[in-house]
Amino acid sequence: MHHISTPLVSKALSNRGQHSISYTLSRSHSVIVEYTHDSDTDMFQIGRSTENMIDFVVTDTSPGGGAAEGPSAQSTISRYACRILCDRRPPYTSRIYAAGFDASSNIFLGERAAKWRTPDGLMDGLTTNGVLVMHPAGGFSEDSAPGVWREISVCGNVYTLRDSRSAQQRGKLVENESNVLQDGSLVDLCGATLLWRTPAGLLRAPTLKQLEAQRQEANAARPQCPVGLSTLAFPSPARGRTAPDKQQPWVYVRCGHVHGYHGWGCRRERGPQERECPLCRLVGPYVPLWLGQEAGLCLDPGPPSHAFAPCGHVCSEKTARYWAQTPLPHGTHAFHAACPFCGAWLTGEHGCVRLIFQGPLD
């Protein structure tokens, strides 16, 4: 660790082979911490930058699925958001740290960034918008429950959340928690939320073959529209999510009654998608159902019995209830539950609904 005059920092950091973190304390005083090579770990970096030192390039996700577009959609994800150090030997423990090294192998924490001296005389700090992590209680399984969101520092320490995302005052140190990633850990980079899965955890997840078998089984039951009496069928994922198919099931997301598409029951005074269910008369969004196709987001291989509201993505009951109860960071200090398949914010009392299919009359 070196104390140096701030104007001389760039000269001191000219050696690209030396990884360093620079903490600017004032216009005249900076601290540079040098890092050595470690033959027992591999480092992977995540961020918005497309430079070679970033292993996983991440873009902002807008509610509804795609990347945020347009000049007004300025990214809040850091170019060098975080780094993960993975042990090369079993059990391959992986630890997450805020900030990543740039092309010159440096991390700069400017004068305005939250930074401090630790009790053992070392330096630590937080990035502008922070790196937040949530470890699920009970692992990522049928028994999972959402954990508590924490902030990870540049040196991998765990803190309670700041009052707002970029506040200069850090939260409190949480000494009994660590930066070790677990199966199902969520990592929020202020613009995108990542799900960490382990190989052992993915062995318990449904396979794409199982998801396809469930689709075929659901279609083999020949569910019918209770009004039009037409047979409904989930389209093949190979067809892609374009316009809904003629046989596509649609759902009234307030009650869960599944129908084929029809044009009656509109309540335009309530909004373009508001319809009245012909079976129970509840008024609410009426949307096509789509089977969720990302197996890594599923907690169990249960049957596709529930749909997220209001987007209509379908998955098992336990998967739907878990994500509907999991608040994801949004903006400077807000949290919203969101559909894991498309990022749409969930609405309604529960965020998801049990699907009520009608079987064939014969």
* 244 pLDDT tier (thresholds 50, 70, 90): confident
Q: What one-character-per-residue DSSP string does 237-302 give? A: GGG-SSSPPTT--EEETTT-BEE------B-GGG-TTEEE-TTT--EEEEEE-EE---GGG-SS--
pLDDT reported for residue 126: 96
What is the longest distance spanned by two Cα atoms in the chain?
84
> What percentage of the chain reaches a pLDDT higher than 90?
62
Taking the CA atoms of 152, 158, 164 and 166 in sequence, report the sign of the dihedral they define: negative
Q: How far apart are CA 311 and CA 130, in angstroms?
A: 29
Strand partners, 41: 87
Q: Which two tokens stand for residue 90?
A: 């079993």
At 5, give phi and psi (nearest 5°): -70, 130
Whether 8 has a pLDDT exceeding 80, the answer reads no
Residue 301 or residue 13, greater confidence: 301
Determine which helix (DSSP H) or strand (DSSP E) holds 107, and give its type and residue range. strand 106-109
What is residue 46's three-state secondary structure? strand
pTM score of the predicted model: 0.90
Q: Which two tokens stand for residue 160?
A: 């309670």
Whether 211 has a pLDDT exceeding 50, the answer reads yes
Whether 196 has a pLDDT exceeding 50, the answer reads yes
Q: How far apart are CA 46 and CA 57, in angstroms?
A: 6
Residue 58 or residue 5, greater confidence: 58
* 195 pLDDT tier (thresholds 50, 70, 90): very high
**Tokens 């620079």 belong to residue:** 22
* 71 pLDDT tier (thresholds 50, 70, 90): very low
Taking the CA atoms of 259, 263, 269 and 273 in sequence, report the sign of the dihedral they define: positive
List pLDDT tens digits, range 96-123: 999 999 998 999 998 888 999 998 889 9
* 271 pLDDT tier (thresholds 50, 70, 90): low
Whether 135 has a pLDDT exceeding 50, the answer reads yes
* Angle at 348 (CA atoms; ends 343, 352), nearest 5 degrees: 60
Taking the CA atoms of 157, 160, 164 and 169 in sequence, report the sign of the dihedral they define: negative
> What percentage of the chain reaches a pLDDT higher than 70?
90
| Contact (CB, 8 A) for 45 and 54 | yes
List pLDDT tens digits, range 14-38: 677 789 999 998 888 889 999 999 9
List pLDDT tens digits, range 140-174: 988 889 999 999 999 999 999 999 888 889 999 99
* 3 pLDDT tier (thresholds 50, 70, 90): confident
pLDDT reported for residue 67: 52
Q: How far apart are CA 78 and CA 80, in angstroms?
A: 5
pLDDT reported for residue 141: 87
Taking the CA atoms of 222, 223, 227 and 228 in sequence, report the sign of the dihedral they define: negative
Q: How far apart are CA 325 and CA 319, in angstroms?
A: 10
Averaged confidence pLDDT in the chain: 89
pLDDT reported for residue 226: 87
* 268 pLDDT tier (thresholds 50, 70, 90): low
Mean pLDDT of all residues in 60-76: 61
Closest CA to 279 of 250, 305, 259, 262: 259
Q: Which two tokens stand for residue 118?
A: 């630790």
Q: How far apart are CA 3 and CA 10, in angstroms?
A: 13
Taking the CA atoms of 212, 213, 214 and 217 in sequence, report the sign of the dihedral they define: positive
Closest CA to 61 of 290, 342, 329: 342
List pLDDT tens digits, range 272-319: 668 889 989 899 899 999 999 899 999 988 999 999 999 999 999 999
Whether 72 has a pLDDT exceeding 60, the answer reads no
How many CB atoms lie under 10 A from the CB of residue 291?
20
Residue 319 or residue 228, greater confidence: 319
